Structure 1
Amino acid sequence: MSQRLNLLQDWLQNVIGIHAPQLVAITNDASFRRYFRLTINGVSHIVMDAPPDKEDCSPFIDIAQRLRASGLNAPQVLESHLEQGFLLLTDLGSQLYLPALTNEAMVESLYGDALKALVLMQAHTYSDGLPLYDHQLLHNEMNLFTDWLLGKHLKLSLEAAQRARLKNCFELLSTAALLQPQVFVHRDYHSRNLMIVPKKNPGILDFQDAVKGPVTYDLVSLLRDCYIAWPRERVNGWAKDFYTQIQELGMLKDIDETEFLRWFDWMGIQRHLKASGIFARLYHRDGKSGYLKDIPRTLNYIVEVGADYPELAALYQLVSERVLPQLEGV
């Protein structure tokens, strides 16, 4: 890491022309990327260090341009060195959505802004050329639950009949996702990636894994957040508001509210299977234990929603009767 820091400082000083750059480390995220704050002529900037053998900066640059072109508040890429994995970005500040959401007086306003931005993103952000959220990717993500949470973390083995029922649930979930209108999907649109900013709120971060995929994916990321939970009635109210907004834009022809909410519920189950597996992987593969505490909240969404859908009974029973109880003993 010290070698990369020397390379980074050399790039900033000798290529960009910043005299004696003073880098202040910012908390790491769940990837291999590191971030620093750097003041240039009295203005704060962000420097990204993305080791090129682990991360590719090209998608970040591409998606940042797409989002900004559609009027959204994403960082501007000011300078880049793709070979070394360095970017110099504008700074969206340090006010994350997540801590502010503990202030009830701010909740409706913040979610209102985030939902309006999401409508704008889906209606106007160019999605052609992005990877597709296809059958293979959807199943690769759900398999993280099986491989990392059940297998690696809980040492929980399933009988052949249980595996078959679980596979059938996965197939139902992926089919529902692929039936939806396919739009630009941020893929991690939640309270840890949204910044409170004075103009064009929210500031949007961590978008480099964007794909073209289901219309409800980012909505469920936002409203059934792995890091903060709301009563289901309130979540459904926000989801219905979003439905009304995109319906008015003609993006959901012949899809009624009931069908949309079913898509929303099932998309959430797919996402929370993926997220719980990723949290386990972050611990076992990357040594990051901080996400383990978020697994029960993430799985509780599956229990809350899955109870309404008999087709998904096998998954509901597995999570409620085996996985969550076993987590308590780990």
Structure 2
Amino acid sequence: MDLQSDQRLAGLTAWANQQLSTLQLYQGPSLPLQSVSGDASFRRYFRCRFEGKTALNTGLQSLICVDAPPDKENNPAFMRVARGFAAAGVPVPQLLAVDLEQGYMLLSDLGDCLLKTVLNPQTVEQYFGVALRELTHIMQADFSADPLPHFDSALLQREMELFREWFCDRFLQLDLSQSEHELLTEVFAWLQQQALAQQQVPVHRDYHTRNLMVLEDGRLGVIDFQDAVLGPVTYDLLSLLRDETFPTWDQAQVKCWVAGFAAQLRQADLCSVDDERFWWDFNGIGAQRHLKVAGIFARLKYRDHKQGYLEHTPQSLQYILMEINELKARAPDCIGRFYDWLLARVVPPLLVKFPNSDALFTPTALAPVP
């Protein structure tokens, strides 16, 4: 931990103890903070345990203290989304105290049980059923009084450009020709159009198994939502069902889950397209997201010096190929050429770095779902 982080932790500790006293939750000697986790951003989380009284009970309590440097994190957005989601019935942490100037927050504690740790073939139907119900609440959240930013062309483009800059150039060190650059530009533009053509709803943007907490009442708490936007209706569904840091589910089962969720959305008047179009949209937004993710994993390593994400890169690329393969039969010629280009130019150098990933790129593994 560097000196600046030490200073921020000391400041957060003093501030959190002051808030506990102000809120009349705890009176006593200064309490230490225990590290819970950092994430792919500059935000850090700590747990504070104390003997005290809350609205729920008396005894050993815990709260989450957040260090979110205001020059690096959009804390007003976190507050706006937390309030909007909570009003829609989404189980999110309660905001107990906030200091926007310093970038400190005190939140209710949703516990330690990440969905990722309990999800397996035996529990998946139960937990995904809950996760999809919570997702419909997110989609129905009302931000009319304080609108979410739009997932617009500029944002979609910036995200996909991470693939070109950080994945192809920095990570794989590909020297792309002018025609290769033109192909990427053409593909990105088409994927943008597909995303913007979908119905637009509130989107979490990282709705996956590491941001869902298993609660004692059987629901799933939702965290890390500060980047929410108004965006494509399939986006969060895709993030959950094709999580690049989780083992791949059987794709026939994924297609069934997608169709079932589309039916739920039609019943709630959140979607008007048929199952075939919804599957098309799901794969279109999947290609966009996984292009971004591949670029982000490389950027985390080379810019932010965070090593743990790059190992998931082969899974991201497999998903891109699967999704493009689902689209190319009815898409413009550039999409088919992009599929061939990925296999010829991107997969070989990737396999040099990850030689045990070759099974991800067999024709069977990439085949469209019947």
TM-score by length of 2: 0.86
CA contact (8 A) 1:166 1:314 kept: no
**Counterpart selection for 1:219 from 216, 221, 237:** 237
Q: Give the share of equivalent positions with the same residue, in percent.
A: 41
**Counterpart selection for 2:126 from 85, 109, 116:** 109
Residues 192-247 of structure 1, C-alpha deviations (whole Å, 9 max, x = no match):
11111122611101000000011111110111111112111111111111100011
Aligned to 2:98: 80
Q: How many residues align?
A: 328
| 1:26 maps onto 2:72 in alignment | no
**Counterpart selection for 2:49 from 39, 46, 51:** 39
**3-state SS of the aligned residue for 2:122?**
helix
CA contact (8 A) 2:16 2:65 kept: no
The 1:177/1:79 distance shift into structure 2, 3 A limit, reads: same
CA contact (8 A) 1:276 1:295 kept: yes
Aligned to 1:322: 345
Question: 1-side partners of 2:292 and 2:322: how far apart?
Answer: 17
Q: Aligned partner of 1:242: which letter? A: F
| 1:234 maps onto 2:253 in alignment | yes
TM-score by length of 1: 0.96
Question: 2-side partners of 1:82 and 1:16: how far apart?
Answer: 17
The 1:295/1:256 distance shift into structure 2, 3 A limit, reads: same
Aligned to 2:11: 7
Shift of 1:14: 3.4
Question: 2-side partners of 1:64 and 1:267: how far apart?
Answer: 25
CA contact (8 A) 1:272 1:302 kept: yes
CA contact (8 A) 1:73 1:200 kept: no
Shift of 1:165: 1.7
Gaps of 5+ in 2: 53-59, 354-370
Aligned to 1:206: 224
Aligned to 1:151: 169
Aligned to 2:113: 95
Question: 2-side partners of 1:76 and 1:11: how far apart?
Answer: 18
CA contact (8 A) 2:84 2:141 kept: no
Which is further off, 65-74 or 312-321?
312-321
For CA contacts below 8 A with separation 6 or more, give which structure has more relative contact order.
1
Question: 2-side partners of 1:15 and 1:264: how far apart?
Answer: 44
Shift of 1:104: 2.1
Query: Which of 1 and 2 has greater Rg?
Result: 2
**3-state SS of the aligned residue for 1:289?**
coil
Gaps of 5+ in 1: none
CA RMSD of aligned residues (A): 1.4
**3-state SS of the aligned residue for 1:63?**
helix
Shift of 1:15: 4.7
